[in-house]
Amino acid sequence: MNTRLKTAAYVGPGLGWLALFMIIPCGIIFVYSFFERGTYGGIDFIFSFDNFNRALDPIYLNILLTSGRIAGLTTLIALILAYPAAYAISCAPTRRQPVFLFMVMLPFWSNYLIRTYAWIVLLNREGLINNSLEGLGLISEPLPLLYNEFAIITGLVYNYLPFVILAIYASLSRLNPEIREASEDLGASSLTTFLRVTLPLTMPGIAAGSIFVFVLSIGNFITPDLLGGGRLMMVGNLIYDQFLSARDWPFGSALSLMLIGVMMMLLFTQAIAVNKSMGERV
């Protein structure tokens, strides 16, 4: 009993804080999403599913689908870039691996706004890339690089790539090198070994990295706002507008709830997949 009390004393403030400032606020969002917007931007406490029906309205559905597509493409591109990079790091001499990894993670720790802003400077009509290409005489007209889906995806990949590399590297470095050698010893080629041994065993890292990028991309606000230039909306921007411009909190809440739903579904699927693969290994 004594130890239980002690644990409670240690854990209490932290869990209490999370309960008060995360669970309860999210609970409020949950409740709001079933109410209606009041005439003057307040909330009418009338129970309804209208907000969720509204989200399926073609205008909003389109935004949801665009968000999903952008997040999906971002995840795919990030994976394609990250896997070989993580593999290259894991093949480096053990002593130098932390340095390579540190170099990957360093940009990740700088300000997100600034990292995104850097791409405005690069992709601008008068930006560095257009300028250089024109200077080299390769193009006569500036390319429309900014304020489109391309810019958003570039920005998202740029911001989250380090984390995907880290996640994949983590599962690669946990891999016993003798397993790969065993596969080659049994007659498999390097490619077969990669496809049949390495890739399946690093799936947890791939899954963790993918979910992270997908969830953070689909709910992103800053990147579509700055690099999409308001021409392209994602769910995050829609939520932002419902709270700050349209003053429709219930609808904004419903959209947020849907984002949380997507996030929980993905995490749940991952947890089951991990449990299953652990079970198989035992």
Tokens of 115: 């990292």
What's the min distance (Å) between Cβ of 23 and another protein? 8
Q: Which is nearer to another protein, 111 or 140 (CB)?
A: 111
Least distance from C-beta 47 to another protein, angstroms? 18
CB of 112 to another protein, least distance (A): 6
**Degrees to nearest 5, angle at CA 246 with 264 and 249:** 40
Give whichever of 49 and 268 is closer to another protein, judged by the CB atom: 268
> What's 36's DSSP letter?
E
Tell me whether residue 38 or residue 127 sits nearer to another protein (CB atom).
127
The backbone torsions φ and ψ at residue 44, rounded to the nearest 5 degrees and listed phi first, read -90, 125
Cβ atoms 28, 260 nearer than 8 A: no
> Least Å distance between CB 261 and another protein?
11
**Ranges of H-type helices in the chain:** 2-18, 24-32, 50-55, 58-91, 97-105, 112-123, 128-135, 149-173, 177-185, 190-193, 199-201, 203-218, 222-227, 235-244, 249-281
Nearer to another protein, 62 or 189 (CB): 189
C-beta separation of 34 from 51 below 8 A? yes
164 vs 80: CA distance, rounded Å: 10
Amino acid at residue number 125 = R
18 burial (CB, 10 Å; 0-12 / 13-18 / 19+) is exposed
List the structure tokens of 67.
């968000």
Q: CB of 57: closest distance to another protein in angstroms? A: 20
Kindly state the smallest distance separating residue 11's Cβ from another protein, in Å: 4
Which of residues 26 and 139 has its CB atom nearest to another protein in the complex? 26
The residue (of 18 and 179) whose beta carbon lies closer to another protein is 18
Least distance in angstroms from the C-beta of 196 to another protein: 17
Nearer to another protein, 89 or 207 (CB): 89
Residue reference for tokens 């077969």: 192
Overall size of the chain counted in residues = 282
